[in-house]
């Protein structure tokens, strides 16, 4: 105990090293490096922290970790106490010359993604209104009817693209604009760090000096009361000054939970526009555009196949093209049917095979050939029924890769040699029989495998 009293700094460093082994690096950097050990009084470490907020955060999030670190480092039971930095010391710190991440910045638009423009945004019925509203805001920022503009919808549907496009277009029109583009997480982190370092004034200036404020994913403000409070005041200052605010969210503001009522009221005073999952035609257009951008020449049947199976996420569509290109170049293989199927299965979690069954195939063959399903799997040897049965067997093998024995078992317990004969017959017919070729093509398309 006496040794600890003599070397308080060394003692705290030992505890600090113990905490480093357990807590993530960002937590150590943000919450423990600023702590200064100042003495040892009445059996307790006295630790200096910058402010009350810092003290309360440490106590609510890391109290048990500190106690365990003390117990693990020293056999004696040692307590700790926090001392908030005196006001006098704060003033000295404020006047001392230093570089800070929270000094007001003249501009913060360099993190806009220049690839996100209105020109390369694929428009369809699912997003046309959102795109039109975004262009209006970009050309006339601060217009009260569209302020704030909230773009909402699911993941990967183009909300961020539109938000960055607004910033890029506005800068094309006026290079002097101060555009602040940030995620809600970064806004929160900036605010917390400003509290920790007693720089809330600089924080407020940094955001409230913007001409256009772009914040992505505002749903992550849920449950962060102090952050919401700060954003509320920032919102009011900008809105009253005629500055444009653009936000993205995962749902309509009126459906959000965990946000202050007065904040939701401000959100609903402007314009909310939604982006929906793209329809088939838009998905095809996105894939064609992305393939062209990457120098890929893909058959339309392949584009159609991808669009049929990846439906709800624009980002997944774009990622599929990138994945195809990467696999083709890294493995030095052509982009063929097998590679496309493999990549699409990866993107949809391997669900392609599960979406098609022997029953599905028989049902589709029945619909196209007008032969009853029971007859197809039955014992009849009528020519038209036999043909429908052989086509069904062929598609089971060709699309699903079902074993010969399993195919034979499903179709009335037939021998695998019967299945082989069916496959051979259909292969020969589809090469020189236009009717058979059209029939197989039609069924494949119905099942989403038209390109095979």
pLDDT single digits (tens) 310-359: 877 788 888 888 888 888 777 777 777 778 888 887 777 655 544 567 88
Q: Given this model, what pLDDT does residue 103 score?
A: 39
Do 348 and 363 fall within a single domain?
no
Q: Which parts of 30-75 fold into alpha helices (H)?
A: 52-73
Question: What strand order describes the sheet that includes 271-275?
Answer: 179-183, 212-216, 244-249, 149-153, 271-275
From residue 176, alpha-carbon distances to 109, 136, 170, 179, 298 in Å are 11, 19, 10, 9, 43
> Percentage of the chain with pLDDT > 70?
88
Which value, to the nearest 10 degrees, does the dihedral of the CA atoms of residues 186, 188, 192, 194 take? 60
Q: Given this model, what pLDDT does residue 164 score?
A: 94
pLDDT at 388 over 90: yes
Which residues in 92-127 are b (16+ Cβ under 10 Å) and which e?
Answer: eeeeeeeeeebeeeeebbeebeeebebeebbbbebb
Instruction: Tell me how crowded residue 418 is: count the other CB atoms within 10 A of its CB.
Output: 18
Do 324 and 346 fall within a single domain?
yes
Do 138 and 269 fall within a single domain?
yes
Contact between residue 270 and residue 147 where contact means Cβ atoms under 8 Å apart: yes
Do 149 and 267 fall within a single domain?
yes
- Which of 332, 442, 439, 344 is CA-nearest to residue 387? 439
- Helix and strand tally (H, E) in the chain? 22, 8
- Which of 283, 281, 345 is CA-nearest to residue 312? 283
Q: Given this model, what pLDDT does residue 355 score?
A: 59
pLDDT band, residue 111 (cuts 50/70/90):
confident
- CA 288, CA 376: separation in Å to the nearest integer? 39
Q: Extract the tokens encoding 317.
A: 């569509």
- Which of 241, 234, 245 is CA-nearest to residue 269? 245
Helix, strand, coil in percent for the chain, rounding step 5: 60, 10, 30
Q: Extract the tokens encoding 50.
A: 């910058």
Lowest mean pLDDT among 78-87, 143-152, 292-301, 337-346: 78-87
Q: Extract the tokens encoding 21.
A: 């082994």
Q: Given this model, what pLDDT does residue 352 score?
A: 58
Cα 175 from chain centroid (whole Å)? 30
Contact between residue 385 and residue 375 where contact means Cβ atoms under 8 Å apart: yes
Contact between residue 63 and residue 19 where contact means Cβ atoms under 8 Å apart: no
Domain boundary among 354, 381, 416: 354
Contact between residue 278 and residue 124 where contact means Cβ atoms under 8 Å apart: yes
Handedness of CA 91, 94, 95, 97 (dihedral sign): positive
- Which of 374, 426, 431, 372 is CA-nearest to residue 396? 426
pLDDT at 180 over 70: yes
Q: Given this model, what pLDDT does residue 87 score?
A: 40
pLDDT at 90 over 60: no
Residue range 57-72, pLDDT digits in tens? 788 778 888 888 888 8
- CA 389, CA 351: separation in Å to the nearest integer? 26
Q: Is residue 213 part of a domain?
A: yes
Q: Across all residues in the chain, what is the average pLDDT?
A: 81
Q: Given this model, what pLDDT does residue 132 score?
A: 93
Do 341 and 371 fall within a single domain?
no
pLDDT at 144 over 80: no
Which residues in 424-446 are b (16+ Cβ under 10 Å) and which e?
Answer: ebbeebbeeeeebeebbeebbbb
Provide the angle, in degrees to the nearest 10, between the axes of the packed helices 337-347 and 300-309: 20
The number of distinct structural domains making up the chain is: 4
CATH number of the domain encompassing residue 304: 1.10.8.60
Mean pLDDT along residues 212-236: 89
- CA 120, CA 387: separation in Å to the nearest integer? 49
pLDDT at 263 over 60: yes
Contact between residue 416 and residue 408 where contact means Cβ atoms under 8 Å apart: yes
The pTM score is 0.57
Range of the domain at 294: 280-354
Do 63 and 8 fall within a single domain?
yes
| β-pair partners for 47 | 37, 82
Domain boundary among 354, 382, 404: 354
Do 203 and 310 fall within a single domain?
no
Domain boundary among 275, 304, 339: 275
CATH number of the domain encompassing residue 90: 3.30.300.180
Do 31 and 155 fall within a single domain?
no
Name 332's Cβ contacts closer than 8 Å, sequence gap at least 6: none
Do 257 and 371 fall within a single domain?
no
- CA 388, CA 5: separation in Å to the nearest integer? 91
Do 262 and 296 fall within a single domain?
no
Do 168 and 235 fall within a single domain?
yes
pLDDT at 135 over 80: yes
């Amino acid at each position: 105990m006496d040794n600890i009293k003599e070397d308080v700094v060394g003692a705290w460093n030992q505890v600090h090293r113990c905490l480093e082994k357990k807590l993530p690096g960002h937590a150590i950097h943000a919450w423990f490096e600023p702590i200064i050990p100042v003495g040892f009084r009445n059996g307790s470490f006295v630790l200096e922290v910058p402010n009350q907020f810092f003290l309360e955060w440490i106590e609510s999030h890391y109290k048990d970790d500190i106690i365990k670190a003390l117990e693990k480092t020293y056999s004696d039971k040692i307590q700790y106490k926090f001392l908030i930095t005196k006001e006098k010391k704060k003033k000295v710190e404020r006047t001392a010359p230093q570089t800070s991440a929270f000094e007001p910045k003249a501009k913060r638009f360099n993190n806009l993604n220049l690839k996100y423009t209105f020109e390369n945004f694929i428009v369809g019925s699912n997003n046309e209104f959102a795109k039109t509203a975004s262009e209006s805001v970009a050309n006339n920022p601060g217009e009260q009817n569209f302020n704030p503009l909230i773009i909402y919808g699911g993941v990967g549907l183009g909300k961020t693209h539109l938000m960055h496009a607004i910033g890029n277009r506005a800068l094309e029109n006026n290079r002097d604009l101060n555009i602040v583009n940030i995620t809600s997480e970064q806004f929160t982190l900036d605010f917390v760090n400003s509290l920790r370092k007693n720089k809330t004034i600089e924080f407020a200036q940094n955001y409230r000096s913007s001409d256009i404020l772009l914040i992505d994913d505002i749903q992550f403000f849920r449950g962060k009361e102090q952050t919401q409070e700060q954003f509320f005041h920032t919102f009011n200052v900008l809105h009253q000054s005629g500055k444009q605010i653009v936000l993205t969210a995962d749902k309509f503001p009126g459906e959000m939970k965990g946000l202050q009522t007065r904040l939701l009221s401000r959100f609903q005073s402007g314009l909310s526009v939604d982006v929906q999952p793209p329809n088939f035609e838009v998905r095809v257009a996105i894939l064609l555009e992305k393939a062209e951008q990457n120098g890929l020449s893909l058959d339309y049947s392949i584009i159609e196949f991808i669009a049929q199976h990846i439906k709800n996420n624009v980002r997944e569509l774009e990622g599929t093209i990138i994945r195809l290109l990467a696999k083709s170049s890294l493995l030095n293989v052509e982009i063929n049917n097998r590679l496309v199927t493999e990549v699409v299965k990866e993107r949809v979690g391997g669900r392609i095979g599960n979406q098609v069954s022997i029953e599905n195939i028989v049902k589709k063959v029945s619909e196209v050939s007008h032969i009853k399903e029971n007859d197809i799997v039955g014992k009849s040897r009528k020519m038209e029924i036999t043909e429908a049965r052989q086509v069904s067997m062929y598609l089971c093998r060709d699309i699903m890769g079902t074993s010969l024995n399993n195919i034979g078992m499903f179709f009335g317990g037939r021998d695998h040699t019967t299945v082989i004969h069916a496959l051979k017959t259909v292969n020969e017919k589809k090469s020189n029989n236009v009717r058979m070729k059209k029939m197989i093509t039609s069924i494949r398309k119905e099942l989403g495998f038209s390109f095979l």
